Copies of this chain bind each other. A is one copy, B any other.
């Protein structure tokens, strides 16, 4: 008696023997091979495409003959005729195993395919979406055995997909009857699970085989900007990214001023809730239009946000977050619908997942950073700072993770800066100051040329030079410090003290002229003493938060630093350290994670298990409340100096020697040189 044919699936390596005539898809399912199918083996969805290998495979001990699979049957031939099957591909639900064979499952046929992130770090996202499509053929109604159309859909899902029990989103119910009839009792349904073991919920349906895909939005709901990634829930591809300003800015630039607005104005919280929901609805329809998809196909949305935005999104008065003990209304992850949140441009049945909050000041955005950057899996001690209007700070390694948030204010984003502006064409984003001449050169957003290079004038002709953005002001202040026009205490020297005419008097203080465009009708762009103070407050808060976590952990240095936040990608590690934003580490140990919170949102959008993971991880994070720790104030005051009044920065000292200047009254002429403790 000859043995049944041997089948080896790659890349999984799963193998088994199957009776001749077994469809490849059936064999794959029995072996637990990750192979997609929406139509359930009817040869119409083509999700189950495989690549049979022919020839000798010594590694697998197989010789695969040309006749190892059955030839095309009529179903496969018809599919090829209508849609075209790529060369070498077979529909695994139609091709039958006749002899020993090696079958490769290409990535696009895997349910759990891995999606490589575009960001700097190489982590991949494994697809395991909460919402999936199922093609079913439903029995027509029978007067003599009356059952509802919905009940026959449930029966078909059980018979054809082994799905025992479903529930139905109420807003979807009314659409089912016409869809069933339009599809002549053949429909595709989208089933959403809030958990792997949960009964799925029917949230959408289409006549026949639905081929236009389904999509999800990963939304990073920031105090200042709302950023969204529209993601194909099948492939994991980001098909469009877009952002808009958070319209709540008109109620207050930072979070606490919005909380105050809610406190002082009855109904103010509802006003802010309505504003942000409307903005999200607008963003959703705009991003769908940009990607050229029907917004009705957006079936999931994941939100990450800080606690105040979290409450305002949910329609909860944030007043408790403005005062000790900073009690959250709820800290758990939430499963809601677009209808619950009044997101009118999404289907009412679209599912919403909001990541858990960590504490009253450490929100779902910090949880998303933890999900993206996984400090709890780090071998070395990593400090992650997500720089924004509020900074989320995580410190940890495999043994323990700590988190806090720190109210840096919007200075790092170019707000509250005299010539500050949002990061947009025309904004100075990089600055260098010659330590000898004290002359600056700079680059603006939209041009690759430095201001002293040929081509710069032409490149900026359209946008002009309009202001300084967040990364520009950080570099400017750090460069001023390195060039000796700014002392360690944060004072800008006078023209006499610095020997530079760019240091101009402004009342009783001085300002440094970065660019004077007045001759051509442009602005005078200076860094004022007030700007320096704003940056000092912001960076002190950031550093103090990090130090507080280090204290709690019982360390005075960290192994590496990750700069996160949309803006983290643009901060130069050297400048950040000169400024004293982050603790002293070797410069090559400072990396950028891009928009880690947004990435965390994308991971949660694409992977159901990741939601459970971050919900569990959040419970294990040690929360540190900066607002009530007396040491925070101490750290804050000490961090006011640039880079720091007391902490040594030996790694920084290896890279750069900071001029020891002092511009206090009595220091006239730069004569008295202060010795830094380092």
Given A173-B314, A173-B316, A177-B320, CB of A328 within 8 Å of CB of B149: yes
Whether A144 contacts B625 by the Cβ 8 Å rule is: yes
Question: Shortest CB–CB separation between residue A150 and chain B, in angstroms?
Answer: 4
Closest to A319 in B: B177
- In the assembled complex, A656 has its CB within 8 A of some CB on chain B: no
Interface centre among A178, A330, A332 (most CB of B within 10 A): A330
Q: How far is the CB of A599 from chain B (nearest CB, A)?
A: 25
> Is there an interface contact between B329 and A177, defined as CB atoms closer than 8 Å?
yes
Q: How does the 8 Å CB contact mask read for A148-182 relative to B, with 1 for contact and 0 for none? A: 11110000000000000000101101101110000
Assembly CA distance A149 to B246 (angstroms): 27
**A324 to B331 Cα, complex, angstroms:** 52
Docked complex: A176-212 residues within 8 A CB-CB of B? 176-178
**A619: nearest chain-B partner, CB-CB:** B147
Q: Are B336 and A177 in contact (CB under 8 A)?
A: no
Cβ contact within 8 Å between A173 and B623: no
Q: Is A326 an interface residue (CB 8 A)?
A: yes
Knowing A174-B315, A316-B174, the reply to whether A327 touches B149 (Cβ < 8 A) is: yes
Classify the interface of chain A: helix, strand, loop or mixed. loop
The answer to whether residues A174 and B329 also contact, given A143-B625, A625-B144, A625-B146 and a CB cut-off of 8 A, is yes
Q: Is A43 an interface residue (CB 8 A)?
A: no
Q: Interface size class for chain A?
A: 35 or more
Q: Are A325 and B173 in contact (CB under 8 A)?
A: no
Is A359 in the interface zone, CB < 8 Å from B? yes
Q: Is A141 an interface residue (CB 8 A)?
A: yes
Q: A141-B327, A146-B625 are in contact. List 4 more A-B contacts (CB 8 A).
A: A143-B326, A148-B327, A148-B328, A151-B331
Is A360 interfacial (CB-CB < 8 Å)? yes
A436 touches B (CB below 8 Å): no
**5 A-B pairs whose Cβ atoms sit less than 8 Å apart in the complex:** A146-B360, A170-B340, A173-B330, A174-B329, A177-B317
The residues of B that contact A393 with a CB separation of less than 8 Å are none
Q: Are B174 and A143 in contact (CB under 8 A)?
A: no
If A170-B340, A177-B320, A320-B177 touch, does A151 touch B359 (CB 8 Å cutoff)?
A: no
Query: Is residue A69 contacting chain B, with contact meaning CB distance below 8 A?
Result: no
**Is B143 touching A332 in the complex (CB atoms < 8 A)?**
no
Top 9 closest pairs, chain A to chain B, by CB: A148-B331, A141-B327, A146-B359, A150-B330, A148-B330, A148-B328, A143-B325, A141-B325, A174-B316
